[in-house]
Chains A and B, each alone.
Chain A
């Protein structure tokens, strides 16, 4: 229905669409597409590490560490990504000589998404009932066995669907790295549209390519949710 509405609007506005230019830019589009995939995968891995460490820090007994983790989550979640990209790249990046834009992009995205992943992991940890831990003690599990056989499987079951959803967010958020000229998919499209002025066709293409990445992930997330739903 949405596609039909957009199509109708285009017809009414008298915008003719011509996608014939795509074949001339297929290599650049492919490069941008795979750079987005690589950026997102690298950021997912790093943000997962940050998220796990920070969630552990939030439940640590050392108060300064706990406060530090809470401040990190509060600051990152409370400010827009675009501001973080500018500040990091032009101030922190310049000060510490981070000139590789791919590396800078991965660091910025990881720090940003890490705060959200921290909250996902913390939520999963809090949702594990005390009764399950007590039952683990009662059957004779040691502390380590309780983590291995009770806490981790239940956490994975609760975290994995949300984490997959977050991966889709990382892919979309990576588009903002175009403002520091990381030639990922969005930047590639911006460059192409600047040369041929086919703005609508370029951004339609961009939308379709992002959907090619995010829709399967969304299906996987839903599947994981059903797969691990054991009646919470």
Chain B
């Protein structure tokens, strides 16, 4: 999936620059966005997903220019799967309704088709027995698996994952990352914002490093981790690896 953005920047209402003007073009299959907190990673992902509009610049995904207004942005969101940190499931709906409702209302599935697709995904992720539970009755790992099932249910052209494991215990983190790796093997293109450096290095082909709103490095994951070119990336990786066993 070709992703390209030119002169992309984002400034919030308090005039704080979250993203400084940046350019990028790359064929993304499994891309990890890494960097210190507050560096603009989630903002970049939300712009790609059409959830917020950039202050300036243009974005192309798969050769199509993303328009951030009206029906065009709604059409764009339909083609993207999005997984949030935690709490992205609709709290008043059961796990299965979280998947079925958008399939019927947004993607035009019939009830039977939507139910069959939801059953297929819940079964695959080991959640069939939890299908009728509300999110609050599911563990963090189960919630994220349902969120991933919902995000991929309509076969999106690109999956965006915003720190999907940062609120999870280590055992649930492994479980969720395992699923994302499986999806990669099925050739589902994704961009993941993550603090799991092991996953970024070994499961993602490319890594993009963002710090203080600037796109500082992009390249093959091995190169990024073995030969960081900027001081900021070296310092960031150094801090993360300080307590590695």
Contacts and interface: CB of A to CB of B under 8 A. Distances in A.
B77 A137 contact: yes
Contact of B90 (A135, A137, A142): A135
Contacts, number: 66
A230 B84 contact: no
B51 A231 contact: no
B23 interface: no
By DSSP majority rule, is chain A's interface helix, strand, loop, or mixed?
helix
A139 B102 contact: yes
B229 interface: no
B87 A150 contact: no
A135 B77 contact: no
Nearest to B81: A138
A141 interface: yes
A149 B84 CA distance: 19
Contacts of B105: 141, 145, 149
Interface stretch (B56-64, B129-137, B169-177, B196-204): B129-137
Interface in B85-134: 87-92, 101-102, 105-107, 134
A138 B137 contact: no
Nearest to A232: B91
Interface string A5-44: 0000000000000000000000000000000000000000
A123 interface: no
Name which of A135, A137, A138, A145 has the most chain B CB atoms within 10 A of its CB.
A138
A140 B80 CA distance: 9
A135 B106 contact: no
A131 interface: yes
A134 interface: yes
Interface in A119-148: 129, 131-132, 134-142, 145
A176 interface: no
A134 B46 CA distance: 10
B51 A138 contact: yes
Contacts of A136: 90
Contact of A140 (B78, B88, B90, B135): B78
Contacts of B89: 135
B102 A231 contact: no
A150 to B, nearest CB: 6
Given A149-B101, A230-B136, A139 B106 contact: yes
A49 B49 CA distance: 38
B134 to A, nearest CB: 5
A221 B88 CA distance: 29
A219 B101 CA distance: 32
Name which of A139, A140, A153, A230 has the most chain B CB atoms within 10 A of its CB.
A139
Interface in B68-88: 74, 77-78, 80, 82, 84, 87-88
A131 B84 contact: yes
A56 B134 CA distance: 29
